[in-house]
Structure 1
Amino acid sequence: MRALLSIDYTFDFVADEGRLTTGAAGQAIEAALVARTQAFIEAGEYVVFAIDRHEETDNYHPENRLFPPHNLAGSAGRHLYGRLAPLYENYQDAPNVYWIDKRHYSAFSGT
């Protein structure tokens, strides 16, 4: 069994208007990322969406001193970017697809 980790491929990190966008570099991998994600899901392999989640009122989080507000709970910034969003919606109830909210850079810290 294999696993694919899809980390922070969200509006705020990829879209031109995103608060911490990678811009064209992030957008350039969309087709390959979507194809790989779909292949893993359909093969029954694990797919984990580890997505940054911050609270607008959390004044003590260390990232607040380093970055502008991003991936705020309830905001469009947390939505998966581009064609990854409808792919997730189609498979979100599959037994091998998981969503994890994370609060740190690392997908493994505190999740």
Structure 2
Amino acid sequence: MKALISIDYTYDFVADDGKLTTGEAGQAIETALTDHTKSFIEANDYVVFAIDAHDPTDDFHPENNLFPPHNVIGTNGRDLYGSLQEIYKEHQTQANVYWIDKRHYSAFSGTDLDIRLRERGITELYLTGVCTDICVLHTAVDAYNLGYQLFIYEDAVASFDPIGHDWALKHFQTALGAEIIKG
């Protein structure tokens, strides 16, 4: 069984005026990312939207010292970007579509993601989203450590750091045994 994990493809991470935007790099993957998402939904495979949920007044959260406030709870910065928002709205009540609020880079850290995947017998994870070298990377490392087989859609991940993006793609393959799926 397989699942698609859509990581942080939100207004704040992708729009030109987003608070921590990947800009053109993130915008360039919209069509591929939404196509992969629709394909999983239509096949009745599990689709997880793993989305940052931050409180800038949380003095204990380490990201608040590293990055400007982004994906703040209660703001439109957490809305999915572009056509992905419409896909989510259309399918959000389906049993195979799930939204996870995450506090940390990894979609597994402090969430029930692993439990939900194991309940469904899922062993293969297909990753999309931003940032390749931060949240996608940390999710992939945790998934690897939990024994999942990894697939990364190269045409559906992006970062604001091109060098970090390229490094992460290589790391997925060489250190995590992930299959990089070319677009």
Q: What is residue 38 of structure 1 aligned with on the other side?
A: 38
Matches within 5 A, 1:21-36: 21-36=21-36
**1:77-109 CA distance string (max 9 Å, x none):** 000000000000000011100000000011111
**1:43-92 CA distance string (max 9 Å, x none):** 01000000000113212210011000000000010000000000000000
Larger relative contact order (Cα-Cα within 8 Å, sequence gap ≥ 6): 1
CA RMSD of aligned residues (A): 0.6
Q: What is residue 5 of structure 2 aligned with on the other side?
A: 5
Normalised to the residue count of structure 1, the TM-score between the two structures is 0.98
Q: Distance in 2 between matches of 1:22 and 1:47?
A: 23
Asked if 1:94 is matched to 2:72, the reply is no
Letter in 2 for 1:79: D
| Runs (5+) with no aligned partner, structure 2 | 112-183
Asked if 1:53 is matched to 2:53, the reply is yes
What is the SS of the residue equivalent to 1:44? coil
Asked if 1:65 is matched to 2:42, the reply is no
**1:18-47 CA distance string (max 9 Å, x none):** 111000000000001111101100101000
Contact 2:56 2:64 (8 Å CA) reproduced: no
Letter in 1 for 2:34: V
Q: Distance in 1 between matches of 2:67 and 2:60?
A: 13
The count of corresponding residues between Structure 1 and Structure 2 is 111
Which structure carries more strand by proportion?
2
Asked if 1:85 is matched to 2:85, the reply is yes
Which structure carries more helix by proportion?
2
Contact 1:12 1:21 (8 Å CA) reproduced: yes
Higher Rg: 2
- Identical aligned residues as a percent: 68
Asked if 1:110 is matched to 2:110, the reply is yes
| Runs (5+) with no aligned partner, structure 1 | none
